[in-house]
Amino acid sequence: LGYNRPTNPRLADRNDIYAAPEAYSESNTTHKSVPMLLSPVNATDFNTDIYQVKSLITAFKEAGFSTAFLSNQRYNRSFIDFFAEESDTCVFIKELDDNATSLSRNSRPDSDLLPWLDKILAQEALKQLIVLHTYGSHFNYLDRYAKNDELFTPCDYTEATKSNRDKLINAYDNTIVATDRLLTDCISRLDSIDGAFAGLLYTSDHGEDIFDNGSGRFLHASPRPTLYQVHVPMIAWLSAGYQESYPDIVAAVGRNISCLISTSRSFCPSAFEMAGIKVSGNAMTDTAASIFSDHYEPREQLYLTDHNTPVTLKSIL
């Protein structure tokens, strides 16, 4: 997507990845953004509807799917936990480390989710939804990747300061290399299932400031976001069998992926359209928000404030 470093060499080497250059989250905080990804709510109705909705997991279950939620984060008493527990199988792998120190639990790589993914796939359910909730690129970046993904050096910072920005950027970019490996490993597993109509939809809940543009901003979740905190990746992959059977969906995502996309608005409807699920009575039926729809319509980018009020993103940047 134009970055001047090869942070995703494995995905870039494939010719079946749809990657969005202009995807934005409607929140820069995990506890709001992830529930919006997993449910029909977005910035326009978060304040009124988040307390009464169920997630896409329940809708998949009602459509006959076996469901699993696998997380490399911890319980945080938010809607994330509530939605996760709607699944048939719910595993927070860091909560399994009873004898581990807090430090070692925090340093668990996202690749530790793969054995659990393998267990679910081995059950060979006819219809299966698996949600992977990764730890991604959260600080401390040095804890997010293994030595074999350390492509950019030096990255041996000892503290997060503006003077260490080059090292922080190197370490952060290494976390993206690790995510590239994880997503490719997931795709390889799905691709190896003979005759499967399979797909992968990925996005991030928020972005990150690393003293960008000479500023003193670091991390995310500030009351007033920067563009760096809400500009996020979004990619889609569809198996060969899926593409052959549903050429209209393939053509639609090929057109729509380069448009302006609100991940908070689009993730849920896109997941449903990709799975062929119809849901009535709420925003999940909004085909204008699905990147797989012939009727996709971009919407002016919104942001959910600390007071749960939707505002246009351009009005606060």
| CATH code of the domain containing 286 | 3.40.720.10
Please list, in sequence order, all residues whose beta carbon lies within 8 angstroms of the beta carbon of residue 257, skipping any fewer than 6 positions away: 18, 19, 20, 236, 291
Residue-level pLDDT at 213: 87
Q: Is residue 2 part of a domain?
A: no
Question: What is the CA angle 177-132-151, rounded to 5?
Answer: 10
Residue-level pLDDT at 147: 94
CA 91 – CA 70 distance, rounded (Å): 5
The kind and range of the H/E element at 110 are none
Residue-level pLDDT at 280: 75
User: Which position has the token pair 């009873």?
Assistant: 98
Residue-level pLDDT at 108: 87
Per residue in 29-65, pLDDT (tens digit) is 999 999 999 999 999 999 999 999 999 999 999 999 9
Determine the distance from the C-alpha atom of residue 82 to the mean position of all C-alpha atoms in its chain, rounded to a whole number.
18
Q: Is residue 57 part of a domain?
A: yes
Q: With bands split at pLDDT 50, 70 and 90, how would you rate the model's confidence at 214?
A: confident
Q: What percent of the chain has pLDDT over 90?
A: 88
Per residue in 95-143, pLDDT (tens digit) is 987 655 444 556 789 999 999 999 999 999 999 999 999 999 999 999 9
**CA quadruple 264, 268, 269, 271: dihedral positive or negative?**
positive
Decide: 139 and 159 in contact? Cβ < 8 Å.
no
* pTM recorded for the entire structure: 0.94
How many folded domains does the chain comprise? 1
State the residue range of the domain holding 107. Answer: 9-315
Average pLDDT over residues 202-220: 94
Residue-level pLDDT at 105: 53
Q: What percent of the chain has pLDDT over 70?
A: 95
Q: Is residue 3 part of a domain?
A: no
Per residue in 164-175, pLDDT (tens digit) is 999 999 999 999
Per residue in 254-297, pLDDT (tens digit) is 999 999 999 999 999 999 999 999 887 654 457 799 999 999 99
CA 36 – CA 64 distance, rounded (Å): 23
Tell me: pLDDT of 234 over 90.
yes
Q: Is residue 1 part of a domain?
A: no
Q: Is residue 4 part of a domain?
A: no
Decide: 42 and 301 in contact? Cβ < 8 Å.
no
Residue-level pLDDT at 103: 47
Paired residues of 312 in beta bridges? 302
Average pLDDT over residues 142-148: 94
Q: Is residue 48 part of a domain?
A: yes
Please measure the distance between the N-terminal and C-terminal CA atoms of the chain and give it in whole angstroms: 23
Q: Is residue 245 part of a domain?
A: yes
Q: With bands split at pLDDT 50, 70 and 90, how would you rate the model's confidence at 14?
A: very high
Tell me: pLDDT of 19 over 60.
yes
